[in-house]
Amino acid sequence: MNKQVRQDLLPKMEPGQVWLVGAGPGDPGLLTLHAVRALEQADVIVYDALVDETCLQFANSNAVLEYAGKRGGKPSFKQRDISLRLVELARQNKRVLRLKGGDPFVFGRGAEEALTLVEHGIRFRIVPGVTAGIGGLAYAGIPATHRTVNQSVTFLTGHDANGVMPDKIDWHGIARGSPVIVMYMAMKHIGEITRRLIEAGRAADEAMAFVCNASLKNQFVLETTLEKAEKAVRDAGLQPPAIVVVGEVVKLRESLDWLGVAGDRVLKSEIQTRENEQGETA
């Protein structure tokens, strides 16, 4: 099957249309076919701070790139302005790609942006992406579920639209009912979050992990426990973005750290090669 036929199986972006696309947690290999197709066709790409810029290399050479990142504690674009910019571009008859980190509907603002498009009568398409709470953990060797460990998993955000702790989270219910908890945007309030979970009945020595820069070359994983988490994060100098997971699945990383094992093998191979070369020249 030739390339042209394969592309014909995928939808085309139409002028005046907006695609809200999830770029995944960072590794460009996790882009979906729909995402790559959108990058190849878009006239304008409005992208987030959490989109790794290597993903933009799939864009066509004529595409205009517009940064619209929002990062906590830093000067950021207002959400309403971003949404209205999409409307403005679509009304200019542009093919508009709104590229968002992870999945646009999982603790992103994809739904808000889509509702603004509906409000203004703009045609749109949603393209799901690999969310960091699943894909990022997988790159760390931590499964979100394992049938001998958990039959449920809870995803939650560590802060609301105003950057404060969400006041509608039932910490006691989650602590009692969810064997595995996966948290987005939780670094800022991690001390308060861990205290609430322990007060709600979670074991202080329960396994916990922080996956920073998930799926990227500079990925870093910190394993700790609930009671030690705040100090461990501070001592390690960890900075967001990070995915946080609490539960016994963290212990499976000892066997499932495929990326770390691969890195160790590469390092050992390089060392052995250097030793062989030195031996030959001795």
* Selected catalytic residue, list 13, 27, 48, 52: 48
Instruction: Answer yes or no: 187 catalytic.
Output: no
Strand partners, 17: 123
Tell me which amino acid residue 35 is: A
Q: What's the rounded Cα separation, in Å, for the pair 162 and 142?
A: 30
* Selected catalytic residue, list 70, 188, 228, 251: 70
Query: Which of 67, 15, 58 minimizes the C-alpha distance to 38?
Result: 58
Instruction: Answer yes or no: 48 catalytic.
Output: yes
Q: What's the rounded Cα separation, in Å, for the pair 77 and 276?
A: 55
Which contacts of 223-226 are long-range, i.e. CB under 8 A and separated by 24 or more positions?
A: 223/250, 223/253, 226/194, 226/197, 226/198, 226/202
* Selected catalytic residue, list 13, 100, 103, 185: 185
Contact, 163 vs 72, CB < 8 A?
yes
User: Quick one: 267 exposed, middle or buried, by C-beta within 10 A (0-12, 13-18, 19+)?
Assistant: exposed
Instruction: Answer yes or no: 165 catalytic.
Output: no
Cite the active site residues.
48, 70, 185
